[in-house]
């Protein structure tokens, strides 16, 4: 057997790319879009590198046709994007913004014309500021507001979009936003964090019911970040920190949503906020498990944080990406096998990718060998997991474009297409060519 034939992909395997609204759209004050909690956070000194904002980002709002053409060149079959809630409902509820809705009509139609399947994620962290002003996810009513927003999106696009995800990375935006002040809205308080977790879970369950009732033939998933969590060093304190971080990071959302119960420590703390019937409202049948994965994480005890845990360092000899994230493809393989057994749902890898700082060389070429190495190793590990029985049905690279990387602003690049933010010129990197070859079958892992 030649090396090229070692990985075999099912014919209908979904190869895609992912993005999110706030990270690429720009046009933050155009055509009636309302502010989101990330617009607000970007204005707070010290929260985002260089004071960067998503005001312009990749200007995708105006350049979406060019971006769809880039996807066509790469040959992807699917595009995962998110709808900006404040673009379609500027205050989060009440008045609808027709111009905002029309933007996603244009995008979806352009994708379908290019034979690229739209995968629509309802929430990738840009909560309308108006909802936050009313308490945001800490207010139990937020679940109903999210269900109403979901109904608007489902009615408008459900004739053309069949793949819906409720939320992106539940635990990241709740932990960072309500316990650690690493993300919007920047609260650091146990009770607020617990309520946010529970209300987001309720919002997920409500949205699943809305989608199921309004979109014929719908296929519904939720997107979870799952990353094996290890103690930075083997002390009882660090082991306890890793165990609690694991509950918050990996289990506080998929377990109630799919298995109908919270993990033990989170569940005990959650008791005051759970009302009769809630667990059944959260645990609604879904069709697939969306996995975002970059690499394992390391925990250490830190009494000064909201929950007593903090991020520890990976072992000094760990292989790392250019931005210092540890690279462990074997952990990805083992995780896929484990998740399949735990949750018994088909898995789509909805994000995987590698951050760097690469720039064009003198000839205008962007060589990103580290990213190609990362993708090759992880896609290879995924294939091994599939051979071992994991039901993985698709893979989306994060990300199509270099974009606004939250607290890191524009300092970290995850795209397989380079973006010059001064001119908005796009340059496919060598990883884009490599990924195109993999999809076409001329490259292998
Ligand atoms: C994930 C986010 C995505 C992007 C990547 C690098 O946690 O979902 O928006 O920031 O990390």
Rounded to whole angstroms, the Cα distance separating 164 from 95 reads 23
Q: Whose CA is nearest to atom 2 of ligand 1?
A: 169
Instruction: Identify the sign of the CA torsion 351, 409, 32, 172.
Output: positive
Query: What's the CA-to-centroid distance between 172 and ligand 1, angstroms?
Result: 9
Q: In the chain, which residues have pLDDT < 70?
A: 1-5
Q: Are 345 and 284 in contact (CB under 8 A)?
A: no
Instruction: For a ligand 1 pocket test, name from 250, 297, 405 the mutation site with the most ligand atoms within 8 angstroms of its C-beta.
Output: 405
Does residue 15 line the site of ligand 1, with CB under 6 A?
A: no
Does residue 414 line the site of ligand 1, with CB under 6 A?
A: yes
C-alpha triplet 12, 253, 385: angle, nearest 5°? 35
Q: What is the pLDDT of residue 6?
A: 75
Centroid of chain to Cα 14: 17
The catalytic position among 255, 351, 358, 405 is 351
Does residue 20 line the site of ligand 1, with CB under 6 A?
A: yes
Rounded to whole angstroms, the Cα distance separating 119 from 135 reads 29
Instruction: Say whether the peptide bond before residue 441 is cis (omega within 30 degrees of 0).
Output: no
* 3-state SS class at 164: strand
Query: What's the CA-to-centroid distance between 306 and ligand 1, angstroms?
Result: 23
* 3-state SS class at 198: helix
Task: Return the DSSP state at 208.
Answer: H
Query: What's the CA-to-centroid distance between 271 and ligand 1, angstroms?
Result: 30
Instruction: For a ligand 1 pocket test, name from 17, 398, 405, 410 the mutation site with the most ligand atoms within 8 angstroms of its C-beta.
Output: 398
Query: What's the CA-to-centroid distance between 416 and ligand 1, angstroms?
Result: 14
Q: What are phi and psi of 327, to 5 degrees?
A: -115, 115
355: left (phi over 0), alpha (psi -120 to 50) or beta: beta
Two tokens, residue 338? 């484990």
Closest ligand 1 atom to residue 355 Cα is: 6
Strand pairing partners for 220? 164
Residue 405: closest CA among 43, 52, 41, 40: 52
Closest ligand 1 atom to residue 223 Cα is: 8
Tell me what the pLDDT averaged over the chain comes to: 97
CB atoms within 10 A of CB 51: 12
Rounded to whole angstroms, the Cα distance separating 163 from 154 reads 11
**Roughly how many angstroms between the first and final C-alpha of the chain, as a whole number?**
14
Residue 154: closest CA among 100, 75, 214: 214
Does residue 169 line the site of ligand 1, with CB under 6 A?
A: yes
Q: What is the pLDDT of residue 2?
A: 40
Residue 77: closest CA among 116, 113, 45: 116
Closest ligand 1 atom to residue 414 Cα is: 6
Task: Return the DSSP state at 299.
Answer: E
What is the per-residue pLDDT across 231-271, written as a single tens digit (0 to 9) for each? Answer: 999 999 999 999 999 999 999 999 999 999 999 999 999 99
CB atoms within 10 A of CB 209: 15
Question: How many Cα atoms within 13 Å fall on the side-chain side of residue 43?
Answer: 6
Active site residue 98: no
Q: What is the pLDDT of residue 297?
A: 95
Rounded to whole angstroms, the Cα distance separating 73 from 61 reads 20
Query: What's the CA-to-centroid distance between 15 and ligand 1, angstroms?
Result: 18
Centroid of chain to Cα 47: 20
CB atoms within 10 A of CB 138: 20
Active site residue 351: yes
Q: What is the pLDDT of residue 364?
A: 97
Two tokens, residue 208? 């699943």
């Amino acid at each position: 057997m030649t090396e090229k034939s070692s990985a075999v992909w099912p014919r209908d395997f979904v190869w895609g790319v992912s993005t999110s609204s706030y990270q690429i759209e720009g046009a933050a004050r155009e055509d009636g879009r309302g502010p989101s909690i990330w617009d607000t956070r970007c204005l707070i000194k010290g929260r985002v590198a260089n004071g960067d904002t998503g005001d312009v980002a990749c200007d995708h709002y105006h350049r979406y046709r060019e971006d769809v053409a880039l996807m066509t060149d790469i040959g992807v079959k699917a595009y995962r994007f998110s709808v900006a809630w404040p673009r379609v409902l500027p205050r989060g509820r009440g008045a609808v913004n027709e111009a905002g809705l029309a933007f996603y009509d244009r995008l979806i139609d352009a994708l379908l014309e290019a034979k690229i399947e739209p995968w629509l994620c309802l929430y990738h962290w840009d909560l309308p500021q108006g909802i936050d002003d009313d308490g945001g996810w800490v207010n139990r009513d937020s679940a109903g507001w999210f269900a109403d927003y979901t109904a608007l999106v489902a009615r408008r696009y459900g004739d053309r979009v069949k793949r819906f995800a409720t939320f992106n990375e539940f635990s990241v935006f709740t932990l960072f936003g309500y316990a650690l002040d690493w993300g919007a809205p920047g609260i650091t308080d146990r009770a607020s964090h617990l309520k946010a977790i529970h209300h987001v879970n309720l919002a997920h369950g409500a949205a699943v019911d809305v989608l199921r009732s309004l979109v014929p033939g719908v296929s519904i998933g939720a997107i979870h970040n799952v990353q094996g969590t290890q103690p930075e060093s083997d002390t009882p304190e660090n082991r306890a920190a890793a165990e609690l971080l694991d509950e918050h990071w990996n289990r506080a959302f998929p377990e109630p949503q799919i298995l109908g119960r919270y993990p033990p420590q989170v569940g005990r703390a959650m008791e005051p906020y759970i009302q009769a019937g809630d667990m059944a409202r959260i645990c609604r049948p879904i069709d697939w498990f969306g996995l975002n994965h970059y690499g394992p994480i390391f925990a250490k005890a830190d009494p000064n944080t909201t929950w007593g845990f903090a991020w520890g360092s990976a072992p000094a000899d760990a292989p790392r990406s250019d931005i210092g994230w540890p690279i462990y493809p074997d952990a990805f393989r083992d995780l896929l096998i484990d998740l399949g057994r735990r949750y018994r749902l088909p898995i789509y890898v909805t994000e995987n990718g590698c951050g760097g700082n690469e720039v064009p060389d003198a000839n205008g070429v962007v060589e990103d060998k580290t990213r190609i190495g990362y993708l090759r190793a992880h896609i290879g590990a995924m294939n091994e997991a599939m051979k071992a029985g994991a039901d993985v049905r698709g893979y989306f690279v994060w990300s199509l474009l270099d974009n606004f990387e939250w607290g890191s602003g524009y300092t970290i690049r995850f795209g397989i297409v380079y973006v010059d933010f001064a001119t908005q010129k796009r340059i496919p990197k060598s990883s884009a060519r490599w990924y195109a070859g993999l999809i076409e079958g001329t490259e292998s892992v």
